Amino acid sequence: MSLLEIEDLEVHFPIRRGVLLERTVGRVRAVDGVSLSVAAGTTYGLVGESGCGKTTLGRAVLRLVDVTAGQVRLGGVDLAGLPAEELRRSRRRVQMVFQDPLGSLDPRQNVESLLLEGLEVHGLGADRAARRAAVVDALEAVGLSASALPRYPHEFSGGQRQRIGIARALVLSPELIVCDEPVSALDVSIQAQVLNLLEELQRERGLAYLVIAHDLAVVRHVSDTVGVMYLGGLVEEAPGDGLYAEPLHPYTRSLISAVPVPDPAVEDGRRRILLQGDLPSPADPPPGCRFHTRCPWRQEELCATVRPELRQVAEGHKVACHHAERIAAGEIAPDTAERPRRAGP
Amino acid sequence: MTSRAERIDRLAELVAARREDGAGRGVWREAFTRMRRDPMAITGAAVVGVFLLVAVLGELIAPYSPTAQTWGTEVFPNRNVFVGPRAENWLGLDNLGRDQFSRMVIGARQTLLVGVVAAGLGFTAGALLGGVSGAAHTLGGRAGRRIDTVLMRLTDMMLALPTLLLAVSIAALLGQGLTTVMIAVGAAQIPIFARLLRGAMIAQGGRDYVLAARALGARRRRIALAHILPNSMGPVLVQLTLSLATAIIDAAALSYLGLGNPDPSVPEWGTMLADAQRFLGGAPQLAVFPALAIIVTALGFTLMGEAMRESLDPRLRK
């Protein structure tokens, strides 16, 4: 049994109209039927473009958003069905690191107060001295010293702030940390430091991560398993390198083809897959395969009518595409006819 | 003679010490430091300070009793003869032969008291209303949003009435008197504070640190009181200083309209202004000085409020 098991998770946001008498006039299907699992001590990387529902999924894992349907099981316990007080107590087992390091730290709390808060709300630590020791321990684990304790978030650099955010999560000794775009707000030189810190902490403490990012390189660097999301659904899942070596879903192919190769000879000869059109609205997703409106390999049968299940096609490699094998074998040619308005360079 | 290396070491020490000085300072302390260097804040604080001092010391400053008259010897109102400013009476005598300066000094206490109590009243009630509304909206789910909607429609109704009209209606309802003026002026301020605090709390409620506190497992009460509320107080406290200014003007206006303290032996700037209008042609100084006092006090509070707003502005923070 994995540490975290998500099963058929749906998170829909109702679109409400009216002032006193609210009516629901529609729903945004932010997460629409996702299943995945994260084993203890491993990292699951979730990639996808803006608005694909990956952040909502991360928040649903901590039940910071209401779950519409499905289960989020942590160590076998379904968080989605827990009563409020039990849910609150279970939160020490899963923590979160946010994208915006400054925004996620209360500007009026100094570091000591920020790090103590988790211990206080869960009644952890025998006395003040024990709590303080735990706080200093967490702070040192992320590479900051006790001299940071009386300082306020605005006095630190971006990388240091993110370390404080990580320390805040660590204080509670969680089993899983959801990292929502942990480095996208940081300078490239700092990104590597923070990612290495996360890996180091994982080795030392056996943490599991659910890393959410839009940067394929970041996810590749840290993940044991990578999942690709498109419009509320998981379209492909594979062991980290497997996905990059042999992407099977047309969407994954187009994503990976967009990553520049640091070799001019290869880069020049490489064919990029340019997607047509925009991301459809999650309030009104297309029928059938969610990706069929933009897919260069779109076929007459199935694509527009039947939503493909995520199915295993190789060891640990799952894909949600009706024609994945035929595309991989080169039996279907992509429709690369240049459309007049969106002609590539 | 110190060597060059020694001097550099000393400099490094100084720089390090200075950095230690600045470490661990919160938002308010930083804002206060900035305000201490802001001429606008200093001017405002000085003006307010002087008037507060006058109000507190009162009788110690006033050279005469505010009710003592030199009636019959110098002032003849029916002949419109007035005594203007002179050495013994700095601001002259009023229509009943009372020392204008002494009346202004004693009147400062009344006017400031009404202003402070009224603004405090409006602030307390408004912050309570807005705080409940904002907390319900951000943390109370669907039921909370409904509570918020009901409370906000109520404040909208209050906000729809012009401040002075609302105050006059309340004063008419409760009868003439000092308490009435305080309640009326305070009530007129309630919707402003309520709206402001609610808005700030909802804005703060959507910030990541609130989400982080929830993720940490903090209870809703703690999130509302320890995180959202303190971060939302900035604009409300600025409004409080600005409200002190409007409360003083409103209080003077109500007194001017004859709804203030009916006791003629207690001087008050608004009443003095009202009384003076009958003699505006013959003795404009009787109206000018109370009016100036009201304006300058209000200006002092406004300057302080503006300076506070600027120093709390996150865009100016490093």
- Model pLDDT for residues A74-128, shown as the tens digit of each residue: 988 998 888 989 999 889 999 999 999 999 999 888 999 999 999 999 998 888 8
User: Strand locations in chain B, DSSP E?
Assistant: none
**Record: contact B209-A88, CB cut-off 8 A:** no
Please enumerate residues of A whose Cβ is less than 8 A from a Cβ of B. Answer: 19-20, 22, 59, 62, 64, 88-89, 91-92, 95-96, 98-100, 103-108, 110, 117-118, 121-122, 150-152, 154-155, 165, 168, 172
**Record: contact A168-B212, CB cut-off 8 A:** yes
Q: If you measure CA to CA, which chain B residue comes closest to A62?
A: B215
DSSP B39-72: HHHHHHHHHHHHHHHHHHHGGGT-SS-TT---BT
For residue A178, the surrounding DSSP H or E stretch is strand A176-180
B123, B240 in Cβ contact below 8 A? yes
User: What is the spatial order of strands in the sheet that A317-319 belongs to?
Assistant: A94-97, A176-180, A208-213, A43-47, A225-230, A233-239, A317-319, A311-314
A93, A269 in Cβ contact below 8 A? no
Beta pairing, strands A43-47 & A23-38: unpaired
φ/ψ (deg, to 5) at A88: -60, -40
- Which contacts (CB < 8 Å, 24+ apart) does range B221-227 have? B222/A121, B223/B139, B224/B135, B224/B138, B224/B139, B227/A106
The dihedral of CA A106, A108, A114, A116: what is its sign? negative
For chain B, give the mean pLDDT: 83
Question: Nearest 5°: CA angle at A154, between A150 and A156?
Answer: 75
Give which of B64, B157, B111 is closest to B249, Cα–Cα.
B111
Interface-testing mutation among B207, B208, B222, B318, with chain A (most A C-beta atoms within 10 A): B208
- Over residues B42-52, the pLDDT tens digits come to 999 999 999 99
φ/ψ (deg, to 5) at A47: -115, 160
User: What is the spatial order of strands in the sheet that A69-74 belongs to?
Assistant: A23-38, A4-17, A69-74, A77-78
Q: What is the pLDDT of residue B14?
A: 54
Q: What percent of chain B has pLDDT over 70?
A: 86
- Over residues A14-35, the pLDDT tens digits come to 888 776 667 788 889 999 999 9
**Record: contact A108-B27, CB cut-off 8 A:** yes
Mean pLDDT of B116-121: 93
Nearest-CA distance B59 → chain A (Å): 44
Amino acid at A154: H
Mean pLDDT of B63-79: 72
- Alpha-carbon distance of B234 to B309, in angstroms, equals 8
**Record: contact B216-A150, CB cut-off 8 A:** no
- Over residues B17-60, the pLDDT tens digits come to 444 444 556 667 777 888 888 888 999 999 999 999 999 998 88
Token pair listed for B295: 């304006």
Question: Nearest 5°: CA angle at A261, between A255 and A221?
Answer: 70
ipTM of this predicted complex? Answer: 0.86
- Alpha-carbon distance of A307 to A305, in angstroms, equals 7
CA-based radius of gyration for chain B: 25
Q: pLDDT higher for B243 or B282?
A: B243
Q: What is the pLDDT of residue A198?
A: 95
- Alpha-carbon distance of A256 to A252, in angstroms, equals 6
Token pair listed for A132: 């303080």
B:185-214 residues touching chain A, CB 8 A cutoff: 207-209, 211-214
Interface-testing mutation among B216, B220, B232, with chain A (most A C-beta atoms within 10 A): B216
Residue B154 to residues B126, B148, B149, B161, B246, Cα–Cα distance (Å): 12, 10, 9, 12, 22
B:232-291 residues touching chain A, CB 8 A cutoff: none
**Record: contact A122-B217, CB cut-off 8 A:** yes
Tokens 């709804």, residue located: B259
Helical spans, DSSP H, in chain A: 54-61, 84-90, 111-121, 128-141, 158-170, 188-205, 216-222, 240-245, 250-257, 264-269, 324-328
